[in-house]
Structure 1
Amino acid sequence: MKRYHFSEEEHIEVFHPRVKANRTDMPPVVWAIDEAHAFTFFVPRNCPRIVYRRHEGVSAEDEIRFFGLSSSPVVMTLENRWYKRIVETTLYRYELPPETFELFDATAGYYISREMVKPVEKTVIRDSLSQLMEMGIDVRFTPDLYPLRDAILNSSIKDFGIHRFEHAVRM
């Protein structure tokens, strides 16, 4: 299984372990995401987003409320104010060798390495919204993610991710 790191920086030759700002209780590590969850990083780094998936156990009411008439198994919701930045941003997907990585969170697909890591390949990602849609992901925009976050947290949806929410703006 491939491991990736996404960045807006084009020329990263080595990833050095570092302490993550929102995980200061952890030692310095290099973070990576698995292939199945990589799409969640097809937006600029600090773009707040909520991603959720269909799964067994979702109530009929929540199926209608969160998926509506969509046939997609995955919904990614972003703030309207990020649209232009998403469209204009070029991302770089660095493939990292798996040898030194250990699973950190299976649900989110996160891996960590305590060692310095050199990427083995770099892929340029432009027009990430089109790529997300080609993957069959239901991409939605809203002026305010707070109502969705609160609804998800109080629902039968259990397979979800709330990313970079510290950058979300309440309307």
Structure 2
Amino acid sequence: MLFHFSEDNSIPLFVPKEKQNRPDFPAVVWAIDGEHEFTHFFPRDCPRIVCRRDEAKTDEHLQLFFNHTHADTVESDWYTRISKQTLFRYSFDDEGFELFDQTAGYYISRQVVKPKFMEIYNNLLERLIQKGIELRFTTNLYPLREAILASDFKGFGIHRFNNAKKP
């Protein structure tokens, strides 16, 4: 089963779309697997950095980037929006999707996709806690982003960074 999270609860069909920030990429429908769905338990435009622990990390990486299995870091200004946000999780069969990014759990389809069903997702902070995700709040994401990009650490995702506060 694959998923798509949206703030819109009225999507009968998912039609392939081009990404605004990647005009060179073909129009696709994006989905995420269950293992990585927690990276979308946020308002759509919320800037965030996700770090994923694996065996290849050094002690330095463990100290710099996280203490547990996964860490999501967001700016403090987003706390209230996250705590009040309701999302809608659309479920898809895997058929017709291909793996795009194994680290992030992203899948794509070049076909129109009809969701099997839709579920309401609220209490997003509680859902993150239940999944054992370390949630961090910071005044600004830029220092963490720069530390990650200056390292050889590869287990990360940077989402909606264009919405992060400028330092």
Q: What TM-score, normalized by structure 2, do the two folds share?
A: 0.95
Equivalent position to 1:117, from 101, 113, 116: 113
Identity %: 51
Identify the residue that residue 101 of structure 1 maps to in structure 2.
97
Secondary structure of the corresponding residue to residue 31 of structure 2? strand
TM-align CA RMSD: 1.1
**Paired residue type of 2:69:** P
Shift of 1:103: 1.1
Residue 53 of structure 2 is aligned to residue 54 of structure 1: yes
Q: In structure 1, how many angstroms separate the alpha carbons of the residues matched to 2:75 and 2:86?
A: 18
Residue 156 of structure 2 is aligned to residue 163 of structure 1: no
User: Deviation above 4 Å: which 4+ runs of structure 1?
Assistant: none
Shift of 1:155: 2.4
Secondary structure of the corresponding residue to residue 63 of structure 1? helix
Give CA deviations for 1:41-99 in whole Å, capped at 9, x if unaligned.
Answer: 000111000000111232222222222xx3x2100001111111111110000001211
Identify the residue that residue 144 of structure 1 maps to in structure 2.
140
Q: In structure 1, how many angstroms separate the alpha carbons of the residues matched to 2:69 and 2:151?
A: 17
Identify the residue that residue 69 of structure 2 maps to in structure 1.
73
Q: In structure 2, how many angstroms separate the alpha carbons of the residues matched to 1:156 and 1:17?
A: 34
Aligned residue pair count = 167
Q: In structure 1, how many angstroms separate the alpha carbons of the residues matched to 2:61 and 2:14?
A: 41
Secondary structure of the corresponding residue to residue 85 of structure 1? helix
Q: In structure 1, how many angstroms separate the alpha carbons of the residues matched to 2:64 and 2:30?
A: 34
Q: What TM-score, normalized by structure 1, do the two folds share?
A: 0.93
